[in-house]
A and B are shown apart, each in its own frame.
Chain A
Amino acid sequence: MEAFAGSAMVRAMIVLGIETSCDETAAAIVTADRRILANVVLSQLDEHRPYGGVVPEIAARAHLDHIDRLVAEAMAEAGLGFADLDGVAATGGPGLIGGIIVGVMTAKSIAAVHGKPFVAVNHLEGHALTARLTDDVAFPYLLLLVSGGHCQLLLVEGVGGYTLLGSTIDDAVGEAFDKTAKMLGLPYPGGPALERAAAGGDAARFALPRPMLGRPGCDFSFSGLKTAVRQKVEQMPRPLPEAALADLAAGFQTAVCESLAGRCRNALKQLSVSHPQVRTMVVAGGVAANQAIRTALTGLCADFDYRFVAPPMKLCTDNAAMIAWAGIEKLRLGETAPLTFAPRPRWPLDPDAVTTQVRATERV
């Protein structure tokens, strides 16, 4: 940063981001000219694996044990002192409240000591704005947010300007991946394991439903598909033959892809009438790491002459760079939060939308 010291040049804003809302403890430093100076993520996978899912109290304990060290690591990696920051952003919700509290208190404290603004970021907004950090995508765009806790289609017209077009009426898509993987006896976390198992499978061997396909609207449903897989599994000998496992995994993944693409197709059709200026579709969230889903969406966007943007894998899964970036976007608009900010277990992106979605994490 010495290059800027004493220079008349206005240096780009620098923000520290903190993410602790689920099972990743993360800290990152990002600049307004879209450089990631540090991005450290500590996964708690090993701690939750024996339980086959995220245990909120274990997650909260792990966040407390590690977040200050990760912040120090990120600062050192960026070669910055806290005084160099223009703001401190943390995920303020939605998610597991015990973890959110740890991240929010950490950010507030650093902001207080150095007299910097504190920014409370909606975790989903972090995912929603990532494509602007990685690909400089302009508003407006269509966003498919797919993760272990969420499955939503949103029209993004600006920072804070989100219109919900559709969401899941039962399971989030990542949740469906994890639960199906569990039924197939695959290790936790199920999503990546199921994708690997599906690689050699015959997707056509088992007839599985394509939930919601052909129906109007953009809502999603995955619990019927999950049940259909369970019924197939129950008809199979035990242990599950390797070929059957691969075929079921492939069949499930293909059904998810077709269902997702069908719902997105409805959204694109709808937007072509209501918002023809929208020319970009962005996918975000941990499930966006799935290659089959990326391929299906790429084809769909080609059909509609849309630009398709999928951020790099490590910025699709939970991370703090997206929180720092959303912090920068909010800081530019003067949207800071007071030190009295209360961490929020629930925080919908589109507060006007009526949604039946229940977050997976809230059921644990």
Chain B
Amino acid sequence: MKILALDTALSGCSVAILQDGRALAHRQRTMARGQAEALLPMVEAAMAEAGMAYAALDRLAVTVGPGSFTGLRIGLATARALALAAGKPLVGVTTLEAIAEGALAGHPTGKPVLVALDSRRGDLFVQLFDAGSRPLCPPQAVAPADLAALVRTGPLLLAGDAAETARDSLRAAGLAVEIADAPAQPDARLVAALGATRALPDGPVGPLYLRAPDVTLPKAAVLRVAP
């Protein structure tokens, strides 16, 4: 299977092309912003390096979040349009799954892994996986103080860009945790590897925001004119 995978959901921009599990091309840059400028040239460079035509791909994969709203929309808008233009199917992979995969692949410790991402609003986007990378809970937004109640027991590994916040909170609750020696960003090669195994979705691949837009309903307009 030939698969093109993208990730721009957190603080990076990553592209990979895998053929039957082997990486033919891989590009990875760290950037908090600027993915809208960098992504397509990176895709083009990776396709050229792999000697791959879009028509030769079997499918595409993209990280759907959770992460930066703008970042995950850059990746999803690109992946959905590439898939439409190439007439190929698209599968979604969460940032949490991709990071867990990276942490567990490098650490066959038998311990579960908690992936914790900075939501930029005080709470964390988290998900707990067993040592076989099977999810033990759904992706969710949780305050650091509530993490111990979610994971219940240690020991476990931590990964993601908010791993230190999670570690401090869980250690304060008396749990045995350590931060995995793994990238805090999704690796597009792992996104591709996970995406290659997924069943094709029935509908479009949508975003996983885990948070509603920050907006409050106004008071009724008629009340506004009353003195």
Chain A CB within 8 A of B214 CB: yes
Chain A CB within 8 A of B182 CB: no
Count how many chain B residues have C-beta atoms less than 8 Å from C-beta atoms of the other chain: 39
A43 to B51, CA, bound (A): 41
Taking the nearest CB of chain A, how far is it from the CB of B90, in angstroms? 10
Chain B CB within 8 A of A335 CB: no
Digit string of A93-129 for contact with B (CB within 8 Å is 1, else 0)? 0000110011111111110111000000000000000
Complex interface residues of chain B between 71 and 112 (CB less than 8 A to chain A): 73-74, 76-82, 84-86
Q: Chain B interface: which of A56-64, A131-139, A220-228, A250-258?
A: A56-64
| Chain B residue contacts of A215, Cβ below 8 A | none
* Chain A interface, >50% SS class: helix
Taking the nearest CB of chain B, how far is it from the CB of A153, in angstroms? 31
Contact A68 B80 (CB under 8 A): yes
Chain B CB within 8 A of A71 CB: yes
Complex interface residues of chain A between 49 and 76 (CB less than 8 A to chain B): 50-52, 55, 57-58, 60-61, 64-65, 67-69, 71-72
Contact A55 B215 (CB under 8 A): yes
| Chain A residue contacts of B214, Cβ below 8 A | 57
| Chain B residue contacts of A51, Cβ below 8 A | 215, 217-218
Specify the chain A residue showing the minimal Cβ separation from B81. A109
Contact A182 B36 (CB under 8 A): no
Contact B81 A105 (CB under 8 A): yes
Contact B225 A233 (CB under 8 A): yes
Q: Chain B interface: which of A155-163, A169-177, A340-348?
A: A340-348
Chain B CB within 8 A of A33 CB: no
A49 to B41, CA, bound (A): 38
Contact B77 A234 (CB under 8 A): no
Which residue in B38, B76, B222, B227 is a CB contact (below 8 Å) of A64? B76
* Chain B interface, >50% SS class: helix
Taking the nearest CB of chain B, how far is it from the CB of A97, in angstroms? 8
Contact A340 B38 (CB under 8 A): yes
Chain B CB within 8 A of A216 CB: no
Contact B44 A339 (CB under 8 A): yes
Chain B CB within 8 A of A363 CB: no
Contact B85 A105 (CB under 8 A): no
Chain A CB within 8 A of B37 CB: yes
- Supposing A58-B213, A340-B37 touch, asked if A182 and B224 sit within 8 A by C-beta, the answer is yes
- Supposing A51-B215, A61-B213, A68-B84 touch, asked if A113 and B73 sit within 8 A by C-beta, the answer is no
Taking the nearest CB of chain A, how far is it from the CB of B52, in angstroms? 12
| Chain B residue contacts of A240, Cβ below 8 A | 225
Digit string of B16-42 for contact with A (CB within 8 Å is 1, else 0)? 000000000000000000101111110
A108 to B222, CA, bound (A): 45
A65 to B209, CA, bound (A): 13
Contact A105 B204 (CB under 8 A): no
Chain A CB within 8 A of B199 CB: no
Contact B44 A68 (CB under 8 A): no
Contact A98 B69 (CB under 8 A): yes
- Supposing A106-B77, A113-B54, A185-B225 touch, asked if A58 and B37 sit within 8 A by C-beta, the answer is no
Complex interface residues of chain B between 33 and 70 (CB less than 8 A to chain A): 34, 36-41, 43-44, 54, 69-70
| Chain B residue contacts of A101, Cβ below 8 A | 36, 70, 73-74, 77
A112 to B74, CA, bound (A): 15
| Further contacts, 15 of them, CB under 8 A, given A57-B69, A101-B73 | A64-B77, A71-B81, A98-B70, A101-B70, A101-B74, A103-B77, A105-B73, A108-B78, A109-B82, A110-B85, A114-B85, A183-B225, A339-B41, A340-B38, A341-B37
Residues of A within 8 A of B (CB): 50-52, 55, 57-58, 60-61, 64-65, 67-69, 71-72, 82, 97-98, 101-110, 112-114, 182-186, 230, 233-234, 238-240, 339-343
| Ranked 10 nearest A-B pairs via Cβ | A109-B81, A57-B213, A113-B85, A339-B40, A105-B77, A106-B81, A110-B85, A102-B77, A185-B222, A68-B80
5 A-B contact pairs sorted by A residue (CB < 8 Å): A58-B215, A105-B78, A108-B81, A339-B44, A342-B36
